[in-house]
């Protein structure tokens, strides 16, 4: 699908993606799972270019979940090293495109200092960019984010009756981001897998059968066109 099928006057401000299917893509080709992650990188950057093309302002991708630590040790090690090398190699390219890079998720001792340094360097380099904010959810889990928000609220000494939805929102990692208008999940799975649990309360869900390494801007345009065909009522009635 081309961008001509997208109504450029009604593009969602925030698109979120669960990038699923790298391992299955590799297995179907008799390749190691790591080859799927490498192929998925090309899909990500084509999606970024597509988002820039149609004017999406926020793109959030689920890169590494808190549950991914249970995967085979070699795969986890590859993902950590791979993401560090990606940041070093591609951050200048993203900067030239006017993309602001941000990261949400835990920064615990399982993450090497060198990886955290690359994240910080990428975020600092691109901080003033305004065309698109690409938020990478890395070592992220929605339940962990909510738990941490509750801890901060309790530690502040706030009385229970003072806590509102706005209080909770203000203590989330995404406090300064709009909620996703649409969430895209690839590989044919129909679940959120602990991704942005608070933020997607009224997001539109688009599930595609394509595996992530085969995803690209045409699929992004397809999902956005599907989003535009829907009527968002936020719990209200049809008018």
Question: Which residues are annotated as catalytic?
Answer: 20, 68
**Cβ neighbours for 57, distance < 8 A, ≥ 6 positions apart:** 13, 14, 132, 133
Rg of the chain on CA atoms, in Å = 18
Structure tokens at 239: 């008018």
d(CA 233, CA 226): 16
Residue 40 phi, psi (nearest 5): -65, -25
d(CA 50, CA 34): 25
CB 237, CB 216: distance < 8 Å: no
d(CA 109, CA 112): 7
CA dihedral 115, 77, 30, 222 (to 10 degrees): -40
d(CA 176, CA 53): 24
Structure tokens at 36: 């799927």
Give the CA diameter of the chain: 57
d(CA 100, CA 126): 5
């Amino acid at each position: 699908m081309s961008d001509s099928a997208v109504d450029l006057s009604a593009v969602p401000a925030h698109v979120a993606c669960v990038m699923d299917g790298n391992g299955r893509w590799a297995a179907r080709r008799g390749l190691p799972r790591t080859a799927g992650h490498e192929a998925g990188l090309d899909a990500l950057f084509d999606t970024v270019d597509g988002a820039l093309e149609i004017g999406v302002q926020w793109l959030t991708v689920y890169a590494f979940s808190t549950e991914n630590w249970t995967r085979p040790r070699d795969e986890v090690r590859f993902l950590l090293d791979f993401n560090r090398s990606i940041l070093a190699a591609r951050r200048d390219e993203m900067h030239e495109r006017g993309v602001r890079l941000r990261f949400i998720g835990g920064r615990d001792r399982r993450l090497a200092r060198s990886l955290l340094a690359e994240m910080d360097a990428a975020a600092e380099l691109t901080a003033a960019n305004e065309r698109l904010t690409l938020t990478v959810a890395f070592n992220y889990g929605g339940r962990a984010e909510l738990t941490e928000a509750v801890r901060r609220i309790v530690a502040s000494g706030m009385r229970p009756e003072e806590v509102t939805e706005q209080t909770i929102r203000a203590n989330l990692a995404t406090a300064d981001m709009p909620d996703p208008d649409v969430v895209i999940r690839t590989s044919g799975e129909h679940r959120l897998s602990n991704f942005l649990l608070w933020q997607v309360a009224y997001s539109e869900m688009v599930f595609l059968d394509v595996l992530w390494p085969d995803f690209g801007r045409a699929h992004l345009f397809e999902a956005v066109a599907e989003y535009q065909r829907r009527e968002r009522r936020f719990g209200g009635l049809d008018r």
